[in-house]
Structure 1
Amino acid sequence: MREKGRRMSSQAVGNQTSSGATDDYSNWYIDEPQGDQELQPEGVLPTCHPSLLTGLLHAGLALLSILALLLLAVLVRCRRLRPHHGPGRLGLSSLVPSPVDFLAGDTAWTVPAAVFVVLFSSLCLLLTTKDPLPFLPLASPPSRDGETESPRGSWKIIALLYYPALYYPLAACATVRQGTAQLLGSMLSWAHLGVQVWQNAECPQAPKIYKYYSLLASLPLLLGLGFLSLWYPVQLVRSFRNTAGAGSEGLQSSYCEEYLRTLLCRKKLESSSHTSKHGFLSWAWICYRNYIYTPQRGFRLPLKLVLSATLTGTAIYQVALLLLVAVVPTIQKVRAGITTDISYLLAGFGIMLSEDRQEVVGLVKHHLWALEVCYISALVLSCSLSSLMLIRSLVTHRANLQALHRGAAFDLGPLPQSPHPSREAIFCWMSFSAYQTAFTCLGLLVQQIIFFLGTMILAFLVFMPVLHGRNLLLLRSLESSWPFWLTLALAVVLQKMAAHWVFLETHHGHPELTNRRVLYAATFFLFLINVLVGTMVAAGRVLLSAVYNAVHLGQMDLSLLPPRAATLDPGYHTYCSFLKMEASQSHPATTAFCALLLQTQQPRPPRAPQDGLRQGEEEEGMQLLQTKDPVARGSGPRARQGRARWGLAYTLLHNPALQAFRKRTLSGAQVNGAQP
């Protein structure tokens, strides 16, 4: 064989030298690439090569974040070394700036919400990215079997800690409250936004899942960074205008004072807002207030709950986008590629739709279109229900927090043994927002599967057979088994009618059981039929339970288990511990009481009464909070002592945050000094 190959090659060389020209055999196949060009398969996007390396840009962002964090630590240290801060230990925990003041009542929720949206969007993009760490592209060496052994799984775990560290200074700049910190925040937000816009502008398409998935999934991230890039410059300008109060610190108690005023004046406000009109409009307004969250005067949701609501909305968008682009474009491509060969494929499975192959193509395309409509309808229904459950949960959160603030802690389960924060409560408080986001993602996925199956059953077994007049499988099965279903229906109807008209009589306004012999005979005679009815009821119970739990899977304020086993539900247990932690550590009455004590040392100028309330219409506590008498406002020692005693008595009564510091003899005290 080798000699034969040599002879053939020598003959080819001889022919080439004799003719003086070389035959161009590559022109025979015009479809093959010329030179080093490679043909891209149809529908596959070519790899995008940006002008600036992504790793270089992210390495610069990481270095900038480290420098910003160090500078923020220096600013915090310089501020704590000022004389008015007093002596104290300067440990590492006191020098590192906090990213978010979660337990502060007056903390603005916009910046933390934007940062957490950016973090969660980065996680969604991390699941489909090729390189978990952008500044460290990985080259996976091929294994012996020809498959690639990639260490990206372990690198993605590291990336879960890298992105929080990357955006940590972006959130911490808002808590330092200095002009330099606002300038750093502006620079960081502009740098992050510029890198993201540059990448999405140069490479808007990606071969993963869908060509525009990366761009659409980056929209919440771009919106969050865009908001921060506008918010920090505005705060920087405000800090320049208010240079006198830029470095001032103190206990921000405007919300707490408003909460306390609303609580003390609740009787007057409720009487003024009461209406005597009854009808459909009033009933609709009551239902709207009970199921749709509306802002309430004098009450503000904690920051963690606001962050959870924001992340829930972002999770609904991300999961819905992934479910949409992963299925719908594929169905559209399949429908566009249907040819007459589909009739032979269906004939191989024994399915004959029509003798005309063009009609078969039209029917198959119509069924694929119906499948796409069912999928999109199920997705819209799932997103709508998840959004409604989110709004309903906000109403429940407010009701539960108000109950805990007034001391009704038994509504959410047994109280802990000690009023001090427990390790379990701290863990639940830390993981609440993350759990809420994960439950929402899984709940939306389960809802999509259940609703998609339900809509397909209705479309392909009921609507389309009736519309086309063929493949009436469900109707034929009902036609053949109608005596069975009629017997079950008649048995149920007759038993209910007999229970209402035969076995129950009313004498002197009290119902009494009669015709007991007939009742016993009917019970024995209909036993077997009731067994079949019970089977159908059991199937309906399983279906109803599955749909109910799927709809409420994303709600942590509702246990999916019965009340006796509610403590076994990890989501509900986390929610209860979270609320108790919030009520014990950020009680508005406690903050208002501490603010009153601070006001006795440094009184503020008087403020006009709010909402037109006169001094005679206010409670005793309101008169202490705002009064027109300059002597009683805080200048006299008796007024200070009276205000402090009133605040202490009001706060210590039902406040979980201070129950641990009360005397043992007062542990069972109730209102007006009554003992249990």
Structure 2
Amino acid sequence: MAPNGSAGFRDSPLEPGIFLDEDLGSDWYIYESTEPAPHDDLLPDAIPECHPTISPQLYHTIMAPISLAVILVLSFLVKRRRLHLNCWNGVPGLLSPGNLLEQDGHRAVAAAVLALLCSELCRLLLLEPLPGTRAGTPATREFWKVLALLYVPALYSPLLACAGPRHRLGYAAGTLLAWGHCGAHAWHRAQCPLAPKIHRLYSLLSHVPVLLSLSLLSLWYPALLLRSLRSGDSPGPRISGKSYCRKYLKAVLSKRGRKGSSVKIEESLSSRIRSYLLSYIYIPEEGFRIPLKLVVSVTVAVVAVYQVAVLLLVAVVPPLRIVRAGMTKDVVVLLVQFGLVPSQGAAAPGDLEQELRTARHFLWALEVCYICSLVLCCLLTCAMLLRSLGMHRSNLRALYQGAVLDVFSKAHILRPSRESLVCWMAFSSFQAAFACLGLLIQQVIFFLCFVAFTFLVVIPLQLGTSSPLFGIIQNMWPFWLTLVVAVLLQHLLAHFQFLEQHSLQKEITNRRALYIVTFLLFPINVLVGVMAAVWRVVISGLYNAVHFCRMDISLMHRGVETFDPGYRTYCHYLKVEVSQCHPLLKAFCFLLLQPGRPEPPAPPRDTQLEEGPESSPCCSRLLPGLQLMHPKQPAPGRARIRRIRARWWVAYTLLHNPSLTASRKTALADPAANGAQLGVPRP
């Protein structure tokens, strides 16, 4: 053994001719670590390789042909039902994976399939793109990732397309597909719950949305199949959205003006706080339904936030725990020399237990700050997504009424265009991407804030040591006191000396004193302006980071809000939704297309009323010759009167809708041409 306790050089491979100073070796290796090494089971490489019964290659080999066969069979089924005799004259139409512009679609099925697709894409892009593509050059792996972006949607699209035909065969095929996917994923997770990639629990945690979505589909399709077997399939094509449009029209026509005083009663502080908190909770209202595309977008965004949160959690917290468990006294000596860990003074060279405990406590504090900031960011992101639902509802209602300027900063024509269609197609994807990036930005900002508060305030108070923040505040108290006194003085002088109130009007007075005070306080106001500028940067950064996931508001000024890609996408999305899914317009079209009810047969005419003077002796005296009897028209029924009145109400509503003015003819756009009374001319 080397002298002076330099046992660290005993097993070191040294080349001939290299000599080390024994004193230097004694100083560096005098504190030999006696702590146990971290367990190998914490490391990702300690997970043994797992070979499930249903391998990923076998799963894709079986499910991909089955999904393709289901799509082809249902396509021929839809073609036969719609074309009947001309079934084989054309190419069978492909099934639509969800009618995203309709209101009566299967919302739960669409949300579950899109959540499944988002989870699978997040997992495949981080791990192995496709089974058996791990080997190869980086360029080859990127090529397989691009193929995975096209293959995964094609694999899971039949799960959503089976609900499109609204036929029992489609529900049966959807049941078999959902059971097959769910059984394969559940069996694979049961046999191989841990994986060596990223973290041993990451594969299991990232599969939670997949299993939940497939479980929902496995229960939903059998329920639809049983309902179809009981009630039977409708012989004709079903008009989607008819029931919702009728409910919306009924809710609009049933509204009455509220009578009462218009004086606003002042609310208490608790009621205002309650109202503000309830604004972040979407409460459904009668007569209005959130569009299907928006439901899918919010669901995909929540799933994407979960996937990113799991990745951030398993990528940082386990390494911190490994570092804390493997912390040695040699590392503590280095941290003490750099001043990162406070020293206890002139202690014995081998007595570093207190410093070691302090260093581990610091790492534990970092871990707590990271977890707290991640939880706070997830809650804030979900709250912003829920708050956006209420904003979507108010915007859609305003556009349904034609109040375009209440939503947009300038007038827009609500009609589809090339750019609006592109934005509508990318809306859900943009929402998921914005939510993920917003979560990352929030995590960085809030983690730094938590760390600064913990190490500048909490830990110094625990250890009883001085903090740099406390020192700055203590040394600069005259500066802070001067700023506070200057601001208070200006407010008091402005209230009592420089502002005079006469009845209902306020005027500026003591202008000479106002000029003197303004000139004297100019240097101090410069310092106040610096603090205000710093606060402006902080509050704008926090506000933009928190609201980054919301696409219904712009993070830029109204003059340049068109440069915000998220807000521009949202505006064009609203144009497509309002122009194609206006519930009042659809209700009016449904009323026009509704077949009239057969009228009851007219009562038989009296056979005695004939032509000739003998038919009525009295009438023959007054009108000799022909006697013509006109039958009385039957009175219309109440149901027909109500239907006519409802149609005229809808026509009147559509006629006075400003958003439809650009779509009418020139004669219809002129109020005088429609018989309307000309009002007071506008200035």
Partner SS, residue 266 of structure 1: coil
Corresponding residue to 1:323 among 312, 317, 320: 312
Q: Would you say 1:231 and 2:237 are equivalent positions? A: no
Instruction: Quickly say closer, same or farther: Cα 1:643–1:91, change in 2 above 3 A.
Output: farther
Corresponding residue to 1:152 among 120, 132, 141: 141
- Rounded to whole Å, the distance in 2 between the matches of 1:52 and 1:643 is 60
- Rounded to whole Å, the distance in 2 between the matches of 1:157 and 1:240 is 42
Corresponding residue to 1:74 among 76, 93, 98: 76
Shift, 1:96, TM fit: 0.8
- Rounded to whole Å, the distance in 2 between the matches of 1:62 and 1:526 is 76
Aligned residue in 1 for 2:14: none
- Asked whether the 8 Å contact 2:44–2:198 carries over to 1, the reply is no
- Asked whether the 8 Å contact 1:502–1:515 carries over to 2, the reply is yes
Shift, 1:518, TM fit: 2.2
Instruction: Quickly say closer, same or farther: Cα 1:387–1:496, change in 2 above 3 A.
Output: same
- Asked whether the 8 Å contact 2:434–2:548 carries over to 1, the reply is yes
Aligned residue in 2 for 1:663: 665
- Rounded to whole Å, the distance in 1 between the matches of 2:144 and 2:390 is 41
Shift, 1:538, TM fit: 0.7
- Rounded to whole Å, the distance in 2 between the matches of 1:157 and 1:669 is 57
- Rounded to whole Å, the distance in 2 between the matches of 1:593 and 1:556 is 32
Partner SS, residue 506 of structure 2: strand
Corresponding residue to 2:471 among 465, 468, 476: 476
Runs of at least 5 residues in structure 2 that lack an aligned partner in the other structure: 1-39, 600-634
Task: Please list the CA deviations of residues 418-457 of structure 1 after superposition, one character each: whole Å capped at 9, or x if unmatched.
Answer: 5541111111111111111111111111111111111111
Aligned residue in 2 for 1:558: 553
Partner SS, residue 208 of structure 1: coil
Q: Would you say 1:353 and 2:343 are equivalent positions? A: yes
Task: Please list the CA deviations of residues 43-89 of structure 1 after superposition, one character each: whole Å capped at 9, or x if unmatched.
Answer: 52233222343212112111111111111111111111237xxx899
Q: Would you say 1:124 and 2:128 are equivalent positions? A: no
Q: Would you say 1:649 and 2:652 are equivalent positions? A: yes
Task: Please list the CA deviations of residues 129-165 of structure 1 after superposition, one character each: whole Å capped at 9, or x if unmatched.
Answer: 12x123x43422xxxxxxx545111211111111111
Partner SS, residue 209 of structure 2: helix
Corresponding residue to 2:358 among 350, 360, 363: 363
Corresponding residue to 1:395 among 390, 393, 397: 390
Shift, 1:512, TM fit: 2.2
Runs of at least 5 residues in structure 1 that lack an aligned partner in the other structure: 1-38, 141-147, 605-628
- Rounded to whole Å, the distance in 2 between the matches of 1:42 and 1:580 is 52
Task: Please list the CA deviations of residues 343-376 of structure 1 after superposition, one character each: whole Å capped at 9, or x if unmatched.
Answer: 3222442555223400001111111111111111
Instruction: Quickly say closer, same or farther: Cα 1:398–1:668, change in 2 above 3 A.
Output: farther
Corresponding residue to 1:260 among 249, 260, 275: 249
Instruction: Quickly say closer, same or farther: Cα 1:88–1:539, change in 2 above 3 A.
Output: farther
Root mean square deviation, CA, Å: 3.0
Deviates more, 1:363-372 or 1:280-289: 280-289
Shift, 1:500, TM fit: 1.9
Corresponding residue to 1:102 among 100, 103, 120: 100
Partner SS, residue 95 of structure 1: coil
- Asked whether the 8 Å contact 2:498–2:508 carries over to 1, the reply is yes
Percent of aligned positions with the same letter in both sequences? 45
Q: Would you say 1:137 and 2:133 are equivalent positions? A: yes
Partner SS, residue 298 of structure 1: coil
Structure showing greater Rg: 2
Aligned residue in 2 for 1:591: 586
Counting only pairs closer than 5 Å after superposition, residues 460-475 of structure 1 correspond to structure 2 as 460-475=455-470
Shift, 1:497, TM fit: 2.0
Shift, 1:90, TM fit: 7.6
- Asked whether the 8 Å contact 1:105–1:588 carries over to 2, the reply is no
Counting only pairs closer than 5 Å after superposition, residues 360-439 of structure 1 correspond to structure 2 as 360-413=355-408, 419-439=414-434
Counting only pairs closer than 5 Å after superposition, residues 133-532 of structure 1 correspond to structure 2 as 133-134=130-131, 136-140=132-136, 149-243=138-232, 245=234, 249-267=238-256, 280=268, 283=272, 286-287=275-276, 290-350=279-339, 352-354=342-344, 355=347, 356-413=351-408, 419-532=414-527
Task: Please list the CA deviations of residues 257-303 of structure 1 after superposition, one character each: whole Å capped at 9, or x if unmatched.
Answer: 111011001117x669x999986576566445544211101111111
Partner AA of 2:70 in structure 1: A
Partner SS, residue 315 of structure 1: helix
Partner SS, residue 82 of structure 1: helix
Instruction: Quickly say closer, same or farther: Cα 1:508–1:255, change in 2 above 3 A.
Output: closer
Instruction: Quickly say closer, same or farther: Cα 1:525–1:62, change in 2 above 3 A.
Output: same
Partner SS, residue 151 of structure 1: helix
Instruction: Quickly say closer, same or farther: Cα 1:42–1:648, change in 2 above 3 A.
Output: closer
Aligned residue in 1 for 2:20: none
- Asked whether the 8 Å contact 2:130–2:148 carries over to 1, the reply is yes
- Rounded to whole Å, the distance in 1 between the matches of 2:134 and 2:313 is 30
Partner AA of 2:312 in structure 1: L
Aligned residue in 2 for 1:34: none
- Rounded to whole Å, the distance in 1 between the matches of 2:576 and 2:296 is 16
Aligned length: 595
Task: Please list the CA deviations of residues 76-109 of structure 1 after superposition, one character each: whole Å capped at 9, or x if unmatched.
Answer: 11111237xxx899865x7111111111122231
- Rounded to whole Å, the distance in 1 between the matches of 2:239 and 2:394 is 30
Deviates more, 1:471-480 or 1:219-228: 471-480
- Rounded to whole Å, the distance in 1 between the matches of 2:265 and 2:491 is 39
Partner AA of 1:139 in structure 2: A
- Asked whether the 8 Å contact 2:54–2:184 carries over to 1, the reply is no
Aligned residue in 2 for 1:619: none
Task: Please list the CA deviations of residues 612-667 of structure 1 after superposition, one character each: whole Å capped at 9, or x if unmatched.
Answer: xxxxxxxxxxxxxxxxx983424xxx8776654543333343275x6565221222
Instruction: Quickly say closer, same or farther: Cα 1:471–1:207, change in 2 above 3 A.
Output: farther
Shift, 1:597, TM fit: 2.0
Task: Please list the CA deviations of residues 17-55 of structure 1 after superposition, one character each: whole Å capped at 9, or x if unmatched.
Answer: xxxxxxxxxxxxxxxxxxxxxx99965223322234321
Partner AA of 1:55 in structure 2: Q
Instruction: Quickly say closer, same or farther: Cα 1:275–1:369, change in 2 above 3 A.
Output: farther
TM-score when normalising by structure 1: 0.82
Q: Would you say 1:535 and 2:530 are equivalent positions? A: yes
Task: Please list the CA deviations of residues 287-336 of structure 1 after superposition, one character each: whole Å capped at 9, or x if unmatched.
Answer: 45544211101111111111112122212222221111111111111111
Partner SS, residue 80 of structure 2: helix
- Rounded to whole Å, the distance in 2 between the matches of 1:58 and 1:156 is 16
Aligned residue in 2 for 1:633: 639
TM-score when normalising by structure 2: 0.81
Aligned residue in 2 for 1:31: none
- Rounded to whole Å, the distance in 2 between the matches of 1:457 and 1:445 is 19
